[in-house]
Chains A and B, each alone.
Chain A
Amino acid sequence: SQQGEEDPQALSIQEGENATMNCSYKTSINNLQWYRQNSGRGLVHLILIRSNEREKHSGRLRVTLDTSKKSSSLLITASRAADTASYFCATGSGNTGKLIFGQGTTLQVKP
């Protein structure tokens, strides 16, 4: 079953602009993660935010988590053509390490 709902499904921006993707989920979580997938490739882990954290930064990435609204957002600042990919949120709960992925947002950054 898919836990996360991502919005928008597709996003097209110009290089240099910021991109914001949102993720909503249904049940309580231990952590929420964002992964990137380039066309025809596997997923690459970007960032993890725990349920007791509200914001986290990594380079040009900023993630927020609002557990009261069961939602998260991923902001990519100063986007580059190389950021073109699909982005997935994944929620972790329990103690097995199991992740449930959302449907993903496809980002296109035009040079």
Chain B
Amino acid sequence: EAGVAQSPRYKIIEKRQSVAFWCNPISGHATLYWYQQILGQGPKLLIQFQNNGVVDDSQLPKDRFSAERLKGVDSTLKIQPAKLEDSAVYLCASSLGQGEETQYFGPGTRLLVL
């Protein structure tokens, strides 16, 4: 079974630029999560999708972050404009359904904002 795929793996941008991350969850997984993990901390949930609907985006900085999952499969997370404090690893995870507790994580995208 293929795991969660993410791209790119690394990205370096300057502040005020925009950046987008892509995630392909495990086939058949209805729920998709985006997390932000700052160095030395645990992952923090940014947004959760159930199919193509948003379940929880309470911690998404909506003035600069946006995410979509148009066909209920792949998802993109965008930051525009980026700030220095956005430097982090962005992790995508998926689970079978909304009530399924085990999450499967991708390798993450490491973002550095200069």
Name A residues whose Cβ lies closer than 8 Å to a Cβ of B: 2, 4, 30-31, 33, 35, 40-45, 48, 88, 90, 92, 95-104
Residues of B within 8 A of A2 (CB): 41-42, 44
| B31 part of interface (Cβ distance < 8 Å) | yes
**Chain B contact residues, majority secondary structure:** loop
Whether B56 is near chain A, meaning CB under 8 Å from some CB there, is yes
Contact mask for chain B residues 74-97; partner A; CB cutoff 8 A; 1 contact, 0 none: 000000000000000001010101
Question: Total number of A-B contacts with CB less than 8 angstroms?
Answer: 67
The answer to the question of B25 belonging to the interface, with a C-beta cut-off of 8 Å to chain A, is no
In whole angstroms, what is the CA distance A111 to B86 when docked? 37
Whether the Cβ atoms of B108 and A48 lie closer than 8 Å is no
Q: Which one, B41, B99, B108, contacts A103 given CB within 8 A? A: B41
A-B contact pairs, 15 of them (CB 8 A): A35-B105, A42-B4, A42-B106, A45-B104, A48-B101, A95-B98, A96-B55, A96-B56, A97-B97, A97-B99, A97-B101, A98-B48, A99-B45, A102-B42, A103-B40
Minimum CB–CB distance for B33 against chain A, Å: 8
Query: In the bound complex, how far is the Cα of B57 from the Cα of A96, in angstroms?
Result: 12
Contact A44 B105 (CB under 8 A): yes
Nearest CB of chain A from residue B32's CB, rounded to whole Å: 11
Q: Which of chain A's residues have a CB closer than 8 A to the CB of B99?
A: 95-97
Q: Are A101 and B101 in contact (CB under 8 A)?
A: no
Does B103 count as interface, using CB distance less than 8 angstroms? Answer: yes
The answer for the CA separation of A97 and B100 in the assembled complex, in Å, is 6
Interface set, chain B 8-66, CB cutoff 8 A to A: 31, 40-45, 48, 55-56
In the bound complex, what is the Cα–Cα distance between A100 and B40 (angstroms)?
Answer: 16
Residue among B91, B95, B107 making CB contact with A97, cutoff 8 Å:
B95
Of chain B, the residue at the smallest CB distance from A90 is: B42
